[in-house]
Amino acid sequence: MTEALLRATSLERTYGGGAREFAALRDVSLTVAPGDWVAITGPSGCGKSTLLHLLGGLDRPDRGEVWLAGHRIDNRDESGRALLRRRHVGFVFQFLNLVPTMTVIGNVELPLVLQGVGRREARGRSLEILDELGVADAADAAPAELSGGQQQRVALARAVVHRPDVLLADEPTGALDSASAEVVLDLLRRRHGSGQSIVLVTHDHRIAAAADRVVTMLDGQIVDERDLASTAARPTYANLINLDG
Ligand SMILES: Nc1ncnc2c1ncn2[C@@H]1O[C@H](COP(=O)(O)OP(=O)(O)OP(=O)(O)O)[C@@H](O)[C@H]1O
């Protein structure tokens, strides 16, 4: 059996305390094999972002374990998790988190610079990916000068430029019109085709339909898991919409 790239077991995450205590994740387990493409879907507030943050080591569970590329990460401190994250993960945040004081290309180069890649190569690789996403013209602009959709593509460029083992993306097409969403999907398909593992959170069933596996959450739990890769005909948008039913 291939070793899992990501394995989360029995995750619990509670926010607040006392009367305000809220269980955002309850006994959630998920395994992602190398090359898997998993879509996490479900209604607002069901725990999708919380799960993605735990998978990427951005947050720690109250209970349960997270293993990334053979390393247990849930019991490491922030700097230990950051080190592994830098090496293995690309993350697209729901609220993007672009560095406002850096140019677009400065933002995209960042993961490469942190890995010690030289300036020249970092710039070349960053421009290539910005071009692939149709935002190379904005390379020298500040993020605030871009539309929400353009910023979203820049955040995706930053997350994949260093070719991480796994891309974790929180609503990567949320602010995009359908033509731009298609550009993003094409990039994800190409990356997946070259072996990139992807875990993405989406409300959009058309985006979810591109994945190999769709995981549906409700009230902090996984309530449905479907394998689309092994079905002869990938379900259509109309079929997938029944996932919520
Ligand atoms: N830092 C926090 N403190 C308190 N409650 C939180 C915190 N983060 C999330 N929550 C709550 O936990 C629940 C799960 O949140 P989460 O963001 O994981 O859901 P989601 O499915 O990603 O939602 P959406 O689709 O709206 O982004 C929500 O009820 C949310 O209000």
CB 217 within 8 A of CB 51: yes
Residue of 26, 30, 50, 199 to mutate, ligand 1, most atoms within 8 A of C-beta:
50
Question: Predicted ipTM?
Answer: 0.97
227 alpha carbon – ligand 1 mean position (Å): 26
If we measure between CA atoms, which residue out of 178, 179, 241 comes closest to residue 208? 241
44 alpha carbon – ligand 1 mean position (Å): 8
233 alpha carbon – ligand 1 mean position (Å): 34
Element (H, E) at 70: none
Domains in the chain, ordered, with CATH?
Answer: 6-100+165-244 (3.40.50.300)
pTM of the predicted model as reported, rounded to 2 decimal places: 0.92
pLDDT at 238 over 60: no
207 alpha carbon – ligand 1 mean position (Å): 21
pLDDT digit string (tens) for 95-139?
889 999 999 999 999 999 988 999 999 999 999 999 999 999 999
With a CB cutoff of 8 Å and minimum separation 6, the contacts of 182 are none
Pairing assessment for the beta strands 22-32 and 6-15 based on DSSP bridges: antiparallel
